[in-house]
Amino acid sequence: MPSTKDKIVQLADEHIRKNGYNAFSYSDIAKTLKIKNAAVHYHFPAKTDLAEAVIHWHIENFENFKERLREKDELLQVKTFLNFYNSIQLSGKICAVGAFATDWNSMPQSAQDQVRIFSELIIDWLTEVLEAGKEKKLLTFDAPPRTEALKIITNMFAATQLARITNSDDFADVKNAVIEELTI
Amino acid sequence: MPSTKDKIVQLADEHIRKNGYNAFSYSDIAKTLKIKNAAVHYHFPAKTDLAEAVIHWHIENFENFKERLREKDELLQVKTFLNFYNSIQLSGKICAVGAFATDWNSMPQSAQDQVRIFSELIIDWLTEVLEAGKEKKLLTFDAPPRTEALKIITNMFAATQLARITNSDDFADVKNAVIEELTI
DNA sequence: AAAGGTACTTATCAATAGGTAAGTAATCAA
DNA sequence: TTGATTACTTACCTATTGATAAGTACCTTT
């Protein structure tokens, strides 16, 4: 069973990615876990500590994700990456990077630094996967690998946000178009 | 000189797109305009009224934007659209749709409806421009027009957010890659 | 058995949030 | 010239926010 501390991080993550960083409070979490407000402060003295922990959790998750995919071929790696965003969209959340980007200017630098590390981690990983996939003739694209990675990431990233507003077909359309373009 | 009411809308827009919907308060606006809190409530009784006015303002702006570009060729229309996001990025803001998408679940339905109208307006416009541009052989792309429009919009949309986190070159790279891909 | 840490609760706080009711000064229409 | 309308201010209110200090119950370790 996860510890209270872990539960707080998970709940905070859900709140942040469902309602935004500034729309959740300590009591939201306390009520759900049926503990007192101060108990949350015991584990995370300030809200920014909690924000940092959430991003740290994402960084660890992504490292695991990378590790699990290491031996697979590049097309499958990209597809799995896209499916990951698909599941985010289905659960009504958005990407953590997007959630923090909106509230960027109301976040302390320590948390900003963590988000920056997380973002670069994703971009660098996808850049390398695309590069390797192109060399092995598994993937096709014309832009430089990092630019292509940015294009795909921004597609996924914003599609989860847009799908909230329009309808979920839009997400699937974009996702399928990305795969098609890479495999022509 | 703009009326107080207009100034409030403009300031609210700036706050929303710089810090997020939930990160700004009536007193932020009141202080800047050197009026009292209650004066803002006089023009916009509830915060959601202000949010609606902000989106309404964007809808009007976009209608003007469309009108100004109507006679131009499709490539120029797309380029102008992309440059518009470029200026958003340079001013440290993000797209209004993105700002509201993050805080979507903490917004009242009346405001959600307005955002939905605004989003569809942009998507429909770009879809038509792309379609016409392809017919005239000014633009090339393989996906259905709406999907291609979604791809470009999500690129711009999230690139302004990502550029906050990484660096501004990323935005230009994505923008240029989008144009190149459409004009091969 | 004593001491110390861990994981909380109780109680409290100042600041800010969004919001309202009542008053006022200036303009405008009849 | 009166009455209404507009654009505010003054003065409040309640709820919530993030946060802290002090206490407590329960394990460990020595």
CATH class for domain A4-182?
mainly alpha
Residues of B within 8 A of A28 (CB-CB) are none
Report A:31-50 residues touching B (Cβ under 8 A): none
pLDDT tens digits, A93-110: 999 999 999 989 888 888
Which stretches within chain A are classed as H helix?
4-19, 26-33, 37-43, 47-69, 74-90, 96-102, 109-135, 145-165, 169-182
Rounded CA-CA distance B148/A37 in Å is: 47
**What is the pLDDT, as a whole number, of residue A34?**
96
Chain D nucleotides reached by a protein CB under 7 Å: 7-12, 16-22
Annotate B9-54 with DSSP letters as a single string.
HHHHHHHHHHH-GGG--HHHHHHHHT--HHHHHHH-SSHHHHHHHH
Mind telling me how many Å the CA of A184 is from chain B's nearest CA? Answer: 10
CB spacing of B144 vs A178 below 8 angstroms:
no
Whole-number CA gyration radius for chain A: 18
Give the position of tokens 């630098």. Answer: A109
Q: What are the sequence ranges of the domains in chain A?
A: 4-182
**What is the pLDDT, as a whole number, of residue B140?**
97
Facing A20 at nearest CB: one of B102, B155, B170: B102
Rounded CA-CA distance B184/B162 in Å is: 26
Å: A41 CA to D23 C1': 16
Q: Which residue is nearest to nucleotide D11 (CA to C1')?
A: B38
The residue of chain A with its CA nearest to that of B95 is: A102
pLDDT tens digits, A25-41: 999 999 999 999 999 99
Which among A9, A61, A20, A12 is positioned nearest to A164, based on CA atoms? A20
**What is the pLDDT, as a whole number, of residue B107?**
87
**What is the pLDDT, as a whole number, of residue A1?**
78
CB spacing of A150 vs B174 below 8 angstroms:
yes
* % of chain A beyond a pLDDT of 70: 100
| Closest nt to residue A36, judged CA to C1' | C9
Over range A122-139, report the average pLDDT.
98
How many Cβ atoms are within 10 Å of B162's Cβ, its own excluded? 26
- Chain center to CA of A159: 13
Q: What are the pLDDT tens digits along chain B (184 aa)?
A: 789 999 999 999 999 999 999 999 999 999 999 999 999 999 999 999 999 999 999 999 999 999 999 999 999 999 999 999 999 999 999 999 999 999 898 888 999 999 999 999 999 999 999 999 999 999 999 999 999 999 999 999 999 999 999 977 999 999 999 999 999 8
Which among A98, A101, A70, A75 is positioned nearest to A85, based on CA atoms? A98
Instruction: pLDDT band for A13, please (50, 70, 90 cuts).
Output: very high
Rounded CA-CA distance B140/B153 in Å is: 16
